[in-house]
Structure 1
Amino acid sequence: MPKDQAQIEREILAEIGERRAAGLKANACSRVCGVLIRQGSDWDKAFEHISDHFRKNPDKPSHLLFHKKYRTKEALRQLLLRAASGPSEIKVTKLKVHGDHLGKPAIEIVREFREPIGESPSYTRLRIFLDVQGNLITAYPGEA
């Protein structure tokens, strides 16, 4: 049975503590912006994973693609900077394993855009994930 967000948050708070979770949420956006502005190996590593969402992957049933205009390293970097500079929501979550929230604790930054950022016109939401050390893991478009 899939977990709801409240249950996921309770598990994470029990695992890492309320104070640490609050600190991670408070610093998540500045961590992402720092990685994107420095453009070092941390950004290169994250970009390698994020760019998987530039093309279809038949091995992944739920694999959303970025709009064509964001399928370059610089365009994607600018999109992530916009999102991290003005998030719609920041929450603790668990990374998905085979479609279920069973993985390690993470921070999710969500930004709703007015225009589509994904291949489908309904993909106006950008989801950015960081691990509990503040490292940028991945980002991909989603439905509002």
Structure 2
Amino acid sequence: QRLEAEIQELEAENQVLQASLEELRISARRLEQLETEKQHLEHEGTTLERDKRQLEKENRRLRQQVEIQEANLDSRNVSVASLEREMRSLMKELEASRETSERVKSLERDKRDLNKQAAIDQKALAALREELVCEKLKSLQRDNDQEKLTHEL
């Protein structure tokens, strides 16, 4: 009876140990799963860190590029402003040149008109001189004729 009790006690202890063994196996599988998951997460963390460093590097490069482009844009804006001022100045010069050109054309028309009038006046003056010479000659001839008549009388 004592042996039976001891057997029962050993069987009970065996069942407890079997249950503990099963729990340990389950825990071992769970530990294995957690180790695998941990390795996966560590690998993913390493990959994410590498990606983060690359993205930070790319971000710095892009920021530098933006700064360079902003500097170029500022420089171009200064050039554009300078060119706009120069263009306004040239437009004023062009307008002044146009006005001068119109004035020159007007003066050239006046000169042509005055030259035509001077030519007409020159011809009239030449005709008047010729007429004056003829009249003078006639007058001298009359004076001579009159003197002759006076002598004859």
Q: TM-score, normalised by structure 2?
A: 0.14
- Larger strand share, 1 or 2: 1
Larger Rg belongs to: 2
Q: TM-score, normalised by structure 1?
A: 0.15
